Structure 1
Amino acid sequence: MRKREKKICIIVINHLGGNILKECVTSILTLTNYTNYKLIIIDDYPNDRIVDEIKREFREVKIISLNTRVSTGYARNIGIEYAIIEEKADYIIFLDNDVKVVDGNWIRKLLKLMDKDKKIGVIAPVIYTQEYYQTFTKKDVDLIRYIPGACIMVRKEVFQKIGGFDVNFWPLGNDDSDFLNRVISSGFKVAITGKTRIFHNTTTKKRRSIFWSFINTRNYLRYILLNVRINNLYEIFSLIVIRKNLSDSFRPSNLIFSPDWYVRLVLLPLALLSNLRSIREILKLRRNRSGFYFLSHRVKNM
């Protein structure tokens, strides 16, 4: 008897993605060489013409319309609950709406590595963009603390143990970093593999306004307050300085100012004040990083 394929749900969060979203959906549906999967789009903008086109052209796609702007974490959690409760998903893949599939066997390759090591809770492929190509070792997988959230596969048991994404990284940014930190705190591994790759169109994410600088600063501060040990709080300075060599330590000779350091420095007091308003909630979450948060207990019991 042929073994049943694991059920995969691919979740794409969309906010005014336009043609970029359609290119993402088309690449998934035309190239993916795997049958037992469901593509789910969480759309938080009413009357999006491209989403309506996708509804007409690709009836196999599940579209969940929220009709209001929510955080990326909130939208992802809605997708997680639908995938696990309604679709009985074994694994969930999160894709940014500006990602393109370029390898037909991408799901099979990620799945094979997850099945080989049950302690891997999250795995990602190599990402390449217009600006760079991720370097990678010759190993099947590398275990690391952080992987870009543009494409990650997560096993169901991770959500059943720690819950979903923090909904308070509004509207987006650092929710994936926070999630991965909680995954590791709960005893699972986070890995990246060079066995497959995806393309990420980063030109759609160049946000240079004061508003986005504030959002980035505030959300990064929330991440620091939630996750960084007291003796490592100097990492707050990574808001205004960056390491020349990422593999080297956070020492003065390895630091340079980030391109918009002066803007972030001015915004830092406002960002700190914004987080202090939520300090009780932050401290509660900080005390138990591997606790079950942000999802209903129906997910835990599936």
Structure 2
Amino acid sequence: MDKIAVVILNWNGVKLLEQFLPSVVQFSAGATIYVADNASTDDSVNFVREKFPTIKIVQNSGNHGFAKGYNDALQHIDAEIYALVNSDIEVSENWLKPIIETFEIENQTAIIQPKILDFKNKEYFEYAGAAGGFIDKYGYPYCRGRIFETIEKDNGQYDDNCELSWASGACFFIRKQVYHELGGFDESFFAHQEEIDLCWRALNEGYIIKYNSQSTVYHVGGATLQHGNPKKTYLNFRNSLLMLVKNLPKKRMFFVIFTRMILDGIAAIRFLTQGKFQHTFAILKAHFSFYCISLKYIRKRKDFQIQQYYTVKSIVYLYYVKKLTVFKEIFNRIQNIKN
């Protein structure tokens, strides 16, 4: 069994592979590198075979999205640690060593995220993950280094190792045993928020999720589905509701989901006033889909859910009403309340 397998999911991304595989090959000594291909119709597979013969290829039967794409591919990969890496990630020298060392000395740590910076502007954090993720009481995700549309410059303010609520799927390290124990990603999510759902399930099972700042990668972001795309809006809003149904403590479930749906309605109205009619329709479509399949997701609930799954009650309120736009401001507010 390999110590670590770096697995890059690909669909018609030959240009991204051409640009970003060299850094992965150069800086991943000791790891076995895989490209998991979601039945690409471009020249991706031939390109990898010809230019990077040391990379192993797993060919999936169709374009199954992020969740099923990885679930299918990882059935054929044997390693103690999976490093799931987007095809638009540039890695840095020594990116694997601090992650492996953490897994070796911390048995309960099951998932780790590195520091994720913006490939196009390397002094800033990247939208999808930044310095590690959290959720509020109503399931809205936010990151150290990125809250909604506010992205911070990396001034070393998050050069620490800390526990998280979720790690970004852009560069996601997980123990093989834990991944399969949890059943992998929820395949009906297709894409978006499936990593948050998996992390929440891991927390419910008593595992720890961590951020390690000694490992750094650079992410293009939106290379496969642009931020602001109505399809992304649909998947984010629908999957967030499904995630809440699966993982919320039973006593809080009805109130939290009811409140969240009201907040989603406000977001839909906001899109409407901005002339973003497709995004308003995407939220309505997400809610309709949720109504149709929510009962199936209630059956997926486990017997135990952690009670304190959130850090702040409403990141929406703090950001839009209190105008707290960076994580440090919110963290200081929490500390003042506790004191």
Between the aligned partners of 2:276 and 2:241, the Cα distance in structure 1 is 15
Aligned CA-pair RMSD: 2.7
Between the aligned partners of 2:67 and 2:277, the Cα distance in structure 1 is 29
The alpha-carbon deviation at position 9 of structure 1 amounts to 0.8
Between the aligned partners of 2:266 and 2:89, the Cα distance in structure 1 is 29
Between the aligned partners of 2:199 and 2:83, the Cα distance in structure 1 is 14
Q: Per the alignment, in what secondary structure is the counterpart of residue 282 of structure 2?
A: helix
- Specify the alignment match of 1:198 in structure 2: 217
In structure 2, relative to structure 1, the CA distance for the partners of 1:289 and 1:66 (3 Å cut) is farther
- Of residues 83, 90, 112, the one that matches 1:100 is 90
Counterpart mapping for 1:223-302 below 5 A: 223-228=243-248, 229-230=252-253, 231-233=255-257, 234-236=259-261, 239=264, 263-288=278-303
Residue by residue over 1:251-288, the C-alpha shift from the partner in whole angstroms, topping out at 9 and shown as x without a partner, is xxxxxx67888654443332222223323320111245
Amino acid at match of 1:151: C
In structure 2, relative to structure 1, the CA distance for the partners of 1:113 and 1:17 (3 Å cut) is same
Q: Per the alignment, in what secondary structure is the counterpart of residue 68 of structure 1?
A: coil
Equivalent residue pairs, number: 264
In structure 2, relative to structure 1, the CA distance for the partners of 1:260 and 1:222 (3 Å cut) is farther
The alpha-carbon deviation at position 67 of structure 1 amounts to 4.5
Residue by residue over 1:128-169, the C-alpha shift from the partner in whole angstroms, topping out at 9 and shown as x without a partner, is 013632455443x20010222111111123124322111001
In structure 2, relative to structure 1, the CA distance for the partners of 1:202 and 1:61 (3 Å cut) is same
Q: Which moved further from structure 2: 56-65 or 268-277? A: 268-277
Between the aligned partners of 1:240 and 1:269, the Cα distance in structure 2 is 8
Counterpart contact for 1:142–1:191, Cα < 8 Å: yes
Between the aligned partners of 2:46 and 2:275, the Cα distance in structure 1 is 38
Q: Which moved further from structure 2: 61-70 or 267-276? A: 267-276
Counterpart contact for 1:13–1:76, Cα < 8 Å: yes
Between the aligned partners of 1:186 and 1:68, the Cα distance in structure 2 is 32
- Of residues 55, 65, 68, the one that matches 1:61 is 55
- Specify the alignment match of 2:26 in structure 1: 30
Amino acid at match of 2:242: R
Counterpart mapping for 1:121-140 below 5 A: 121-129=110-118, 130=120, 132-133=124-125, 134=130, 135=145, 136-139=157-160
- Specify the alignment match of 1:298 in structure 2: none
Q: Per the alignment, in what secondary structure is the counterpart of residue 187 of structure 2?
A: coil
The alpha-carbon deviation at position 196 of structure 1 amounts to 1.5
- Specify the alignment match of 1:155 in structure 2: 175
Q: Per the alignment, in what secondary structure is the counterpart of residue 301 of structure 2?
A: helix
- Specify the alignment match of 1:187 in structure 2: 206
Fraction of identical pairs, as percent: 17
The alpha-carbon deviation at position 118 of structure 1 amounts to 0.8
Residue by residue over 1:173-202, the C-alpha shift from the partner in whole angstroms, topping out at 9 and shown as x without a partner, is 111111111111111001001112100012
In structure 2, relative to structure 1, the CA distance for the partners of 1:119 and 1:237 (3 Å cut) is farther
In structure 2, relative to structure 1, the CA distance for the partners of 1:40 and 1:284 (3 Å cut) is same
Between the aligned partners of 1:92 and 1:178, the Cα distance in structure 2 is 17
Q: Per the alignment, in what secondary structure is the counterpart of residue 286 of structure 1?
A: coil
Between the aligned partners of 2:26 and 2:275, the Cα distance in structure 1 is 40
- Specify the alignment match of 1:16 in structure 2: 12
- Specify the alignment match of 1:297 in structure 2: none
Counterpart contact for 1:22–1:50, Cα < 8 Å: no
Amino acid at match of 2:214: K
- Specify the alignment match of 1:51 in structure 2: 45
- Specify the alignment match of 1:117 in structure 2: 106
- Specify the alignment match of 2:230 in structure 1: 210
Between the aligned partners of 1:261 and 1:226, the Cα distance in structure 2 is 30
Counterpart contact for 2:67–2:185, Cα < 8 Å: yes
Between the aligned partners of 2:67 and 2:189, the Cα distance in structure 1 is 7
Residue by residue over 1:82-110, the C-alpha shift from the partner in whole angstroms, topping out at 9 and shown as x without a partner, is 123xxxx11111001111112x2111111
Counterpart contact for 1:240–1:261, Cα < 8 Å: no
